[in-house]
Amino acid sequence: MPSTSDAGARVLLDARGMGVERGGRQLFHALDITVCAGELVHLRGANGAGKTTLMRVLAGLSRFGFDGEVAHRERCLFLGHHSAVKPLLTPRENLRWHPAGERFGDDATIDEALAAVGLYGYEDTPAAQLSAGQQRRVNLARLYLSRQPLWLLDEPFTAIDVQGVARLQARLVQHCRDGGAVLFTSHQSLDADVAVRTLDLEAVAY
């Protein structure tokens, strides 16, 4: 099992020969993905290129219907299209009792995380009364609580305002600097001053 790359960085995710076929059409094939500690990787592709499918395969949620194998994967934080936020619970409870099973810390830490995503003052408001964007922010607050080294984020910038996007980018860069790695999908590009490796699904498609 590979634990370090040629450059010496720790390999957090190593997938070989990935290929996905949908409805008799090969979306991509023989795709190798290696993500090392400190890397920020942007997975690009048009709608229907198989980004979400690939993310779910890489996270280990999809285990069938694709070629190749995920040879190595560190514990990961996965944020998908769905928010996993319960409308009946307050943001604080949503994070404290989150089914991800990570240690989310005490209320003070959770409040800090909520403040970091701009939800200061909403800690005890039932999530049902929050807007769609605010509900997504509750989910994104997990990025300030998580201790998993590898982050797999599927469209993290959806429904987030400009200011929120900037803060989110800063958080991703910070995580990579701390020795983690991020693989994310998005239709928008990051700021020019951020070092991003781009992986284009179109380039490996038929």
Partner 1 sequence: MAGEGFYRAMLRRQLALSLRRPVQLFNALLFFALVIVLFPLGLGPSPETLGEFAPGILWIVALLANMLGVETLFRSDFEDGSVDQLLLAPQPLYFSVMPYLLTQWLLAGVLLALVSPLFGLMLGLPVGAMGALAASLLLGSGVMSVLGAIGAALTVGLRRGGMLIALLVTPFYMPVLIFGSGAVQAAVTGVDSSPYLALLAAMLCLAVALGPLAIAAALRISVDS
CA 117 to chain centre: 16
Burial level of 74, CB count in 10 A (0-12/13-18/19+)? middle
d(CA 89, CA 6): 47
Residues 58-97, one symbol each (x = binds partner 1 by CB under 8 A, - = not), give -xxxxxxx---------xx-x-xxxxxxx-xx---x--xx
**Contact between 120 and partner 1 (CB under 8 A)?**
no
**Contact between 106 and partner 1 (CB under 8 A)?**
no
DSSP letter string, 133-177: HHHHHHHHGGGGT---SEEEEESTTTT--HHHHHHHHHHHHHHHH
**Which residue shows structure tokens 């980004």?**
51
Kindly state the smallest distance separating residue 93's Cβ from partner 1, in Å: 7
Size of the site for partner 1 (CB under 8 A): 28
Given the complex with partner 1, which of 74 and 200 has the nearer CB atom? 74
Tokens of 188: 């928008």
Given the complex with partner 1, which of 74 and 112 has the nearer CB atom? 74
Kindly state the smallest distance separating residue 202's Cβ from partner 1, in Å: 26
Residues that bind partner 1 (CB under 8 A): 59-65, 75-76, 78, 80-86, 88-89, 93, 96-103
